[in-house]
Amino acid sequence: MATQPSILAFLERLQQVTTFDGLQSLVESLRALYQVDNFIYHSINSAGEPYAALTYDLDWVDHYLDQDFGRIDPVVLGCYQRFHPVDWKMLDWSGKAVRAFMLEAHDAGIGNQGFSIPIRGPNGQFALFTANHRCSDGEWQKFTAAHVQDLILIAHYLNQKALEIERGTDRLPYKNLSPRELDALTLIGSGQNRAHAAEKLAISEHTLRVYLESARFKLGAANTMHAVALAMSHGRIIV
């Protein structure tokens, strides 16, 4: 696996994509960029319609859908209940049906390691971006530690592009931010640490984190500073 690939060229190419075929080609290109076996972007829009751009063998994809494995897949079930990136080792792979599913996936070339990023978009959209590979636990830990920020950025930019292609526009419908969410982003954007920001707002750090996370997901941001940048770019806050 590569150690420090640049994603700048990838993101620049992504901005030029206008079709789902183009998005599929870009997802395929990630394998060479990161030297990882598989990358998967899977989305279900607000109408319940699925879309996927992935590098899994299509026979496995057809079999997965035919057997309705989504109802027992620990990655789908586990990530739907989470907001943060998930290493597959954190998920529950116990149970007879799940173990049988895991063996079938392994035989189909699915790697033993996985790292998935849940994404929640506008109007109830849910998506997953996953890196999958065959390697030791130690190698995978080093890879994810080195590239977690890259993968989060790629996940959210891929999702934004998929939404743009689906809608035929490059404008995202943002949800309104509450006054407290705006205050929290403004203080963090002005360079305050979380302790000082919470003190100024007369709330606990835990409550501050709730406001920041809520704003981040409303904006579709990869992290807090990305949320600050998006809020600034749309004139919602001034720092």
Of the candidates 152, 86, 164, the one whose C-alpha atom is nearest the C-alpha of residue 125 is 164
pLDDT bucket at 169, cuts 50 / 70 / 90: very low
- Mean pLDDT, the chain, rounded, equals 87
pLDDT bucket at 48, cuts 50 / 70 / 90: low
Query: Residue 5 has which token pair?
Result: 């690939």
Percent helix, strand, coil in the chain, to 5, is 55, 15, 30
pLDDT bucket at 31, cuts 50 / 70 / 90: very high
pLDDT bucket at 168, cuts 50 / 70 / 90: low
pTM check: above 0.85: no
Domains and CATH numbers, the chain: 8-167 (3.30.450.80), 179-233 (1.10.10.10)
Q: Is pLDDT at 47 greater than 70 in this prediction?
A: no
Residue with the bigger pLDDT between 46 and 157: it is 157
Residue with the bigger pLDDT between 45 and 13: it is 13
Q: Which residues contact 228 (CB under 8 A, 6 or more apart)?
A: 185, 188, 189, 237, 239
